[in-house]
Amino acid sequence: MAASNPLTTHVLNTGDGIPAAKMAISLHRLNSELMIWNMLSVGTTNEDGRCPGLISPEAFTSGMYKLRFETGSYWESLGQTSFYPYVEVVFTITEPQQRFHIPLLMSRFSYSTYRGS
């Protein structure tokens, strides 16, 4: 049975020690025949830096995905510059019945991501 909310993210502003709220993010899947990215959803992180409902269990199939975080715009909205205009995390899903949590810990001059739970 497919997991509800199979793909989640959590964006943390490690520079200030707070969730990164109101950051625009988008989820894309690679069409491997045409080798182009199809945008599946767009959203904005909530006050807790999360963005529920990125993809439904039915739509979550095996493939290559990309989460794009508009980090540059986020820092700009705080009146600051950043080294990275945006962050894209590209990952491969081979078992879509599992849950995947892909956080982004970021500051103006660094970021990290990992497969969480």
Question: Residues interacting with other proteins, by CB under 8 A?
Answer: 64, 72, 82-92, 105, 109-115
Q: Listing from the earlier edge strand, what are the strands of the sheet with 100-107?
A: 18-19, 7-13, 100-107
Backbone torsion region of residue 94, taken as left when φ is above 0, otherwise alpha when ψ lies between -120 and 50, otherwise beta: alpha
Q: With respect to other proteins, which residue has the nearer C-beta, 46 or 83?
A: 83
84 with 69: CB under 8 angstroms?
no
Nearest distance in Å: CB 67, other proteins: 11
Q: With respect to other proteins, which residue has the nearer C-beta, 51 or 67?
A: 67
Nearest distance in Å: CB 12, other proteins: 13
Q: With respect to other proteins, which residue has the nearer C-beta, 34 or 47?
A: 34
